[in-house]
């Protein structure tokens, strides 16, 4: 039951992203997906394999939910953020959008905890918030660097 609902919501999230007009180019979106996916899989692997502060459910359906979250949902939410992130508006609106999306990521993670997909051992929600902020900051720096390369190469004019 949980698996089918989670897959349906994931399909809705991906389809709504594909249908929406993108502010970033295809190259930038692919770069963001690869970077966020790499950071997310590394983050989760360190937490539940190396540090053993998370426990991922052993049931097949719940484990599939975790993998879908790790590979599709988490990167899709950050892709939404970067495509909605306004370039030339007030600092307050950018800050509110950032707080909103960090909150969305933490709510989704807490939903996985409530479903029993993830269980915390020595981990707190505030630590997840710090990780989300770190991922956001690092991704922003890497995207800016990538956009400068695209501009320098003449692929992207912005």
What is the model's pLDDT at position 158?
A: 58
Which among 136, 145, 1 has a CA at the least distance from the CA of 77? 136
52 sits in the region (left: phi over 0; alpha: psi -120 to 50; else beta) called: left
Return the structure tokens found at 25: 């180019």
What is the model's pLDDT at position 81?
A: 93
Please state the domain extents for the chain: 2-153
3-state SS of 31-91 is HHHHHHHHHHHHHHHHHHHHCCCEEECCCHHHHHHHHHHHHHHHHHHHHHHHHHCCCCCCH
147 phi/psi in degrees, rounded to 5: -65, -35
What is the model's pLDDT at position 153?
A: 86
pLDDT profile of the chain (158 residues), mean per 10: 87 86 88 94 92 93 94 93 81 90 95 95 93 94 93 79
Cα-based distances in Å from 97 to 26, 31, 80, 149: 22, 21, 11, 26
Q: Judging by DSSP bridges, how do beta strands 54-56 and 118-120 pair with one another?
A: antiparallel
- Sign (positive/negative) of CA torsion 91, 99, 134, 150? negative
What is the model's pLDDT at position 34?
A: 95
Helix or strand or coil: residue 118? strand
């Amino acid at each position: 039951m949980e698996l089918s609902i989670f897959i349906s919501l994931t399909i809705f999230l991906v389809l709504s992203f594909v249908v929406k007009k993108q502010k970033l180019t295809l190259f930038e979106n692919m770069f963001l997906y690869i970077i966020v996916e790499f950071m997310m899989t590394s983050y989760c692997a360190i937490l539940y394999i190396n540090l053993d502060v998370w426990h991922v459910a052993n049931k097949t359906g719940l484990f599939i939910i975790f993998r879908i979250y790790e590979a599709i949902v988490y990167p899709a939410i950050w892709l939404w953020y970067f495509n909605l992130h306004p370039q030339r508006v007030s600092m307050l609106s950018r800050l509110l959008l950032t707080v909103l999306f960090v909150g969305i990521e933490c709510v989704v993670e807490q939903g996985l905890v409530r479903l029993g997909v993830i269980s915390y051992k020595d981990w707190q929600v505030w630590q997840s918030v710090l990780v989300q902020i770190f991922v956001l900051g690092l991704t922003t720096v890497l995207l800016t660097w990538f956009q400068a390369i695209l501009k320098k190469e003449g692929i992207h004019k912005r």
